[in-house]
Amino acid sequence: MKEKGKGLFEEFKKFVLRGNVLDLSVGVIIGTAFAGLIGAFTDDFINPLINGIGGAEVAGRIKIYGGQYLNWGHFVTQIINFLIMAFVLFLILKSVNKLMSLGKKKEEAAPKKSDEVVLLEQIRDELKKRK
């Protein structure tokens, strides 16, 4: 039984120490911190601006039966958070794709001529000289 537990531990250790698992965990941690940052930005800047400009309270509630409430303001805040996050991620991915394409364009800019094309060009140039 002890050997089986040790094998399971070794397998788990191998799984955790793979590069993509570590990258994923770092991404989740950074994503969580980023979500908190966007949430604070929305709560502390965007919502007060909406309240000041439109005169509407973003933290609105609608009372329904039995003393329960629908917190539509919280839902609107989450939609704003999502849109801000999606836009920022769009900008990040767009810039990364642009950087990636810059390297590819340099490689594709000068296509190498085949041996046949080079030979035909030499023949053409030689015929022009003879005329």
Q: What is the CATH number of the domain that holds 83?
A: 1.10.1200.120
For residue 130, tell me if it sits in a domain: no
For residue 131, tell me if it sits in a domain: no
For residues 18 and 120, the model is more confident at 120
Range of 65's domain? 2-125
Cα distance between residue 17 and residue 12, in whole Å: 9
**Residue 18 confidence class, pLDDT cut points 50, 70, 90:** confident
For residue 62, tell me if it sits in a domain: yes
Query: pTM of this prediction?
Result: 0.50
* Residues above pLDDT 90, as percent of the chain: 0
Helices (H), ranges, the chain: 2-16, 19-41, 47-54, 72-109, 115-130
For residue 110, tell me if it sits in a domain: yes
- Please write the tens of the pLDDT for every residue from 38-79: 888 888 887 777 777 765 566 667 778 888 877 777 787 788
Let me know: does 77 contact 43? Beta carbons within 8 Å: yes
CB atoms within 10 A of CB 43: 15
Query: Token digits for 90?
Result: 């769009």
The tally of domains found in the chain comes to: 1
For residue 45, tell me if it sits in a domain: yes
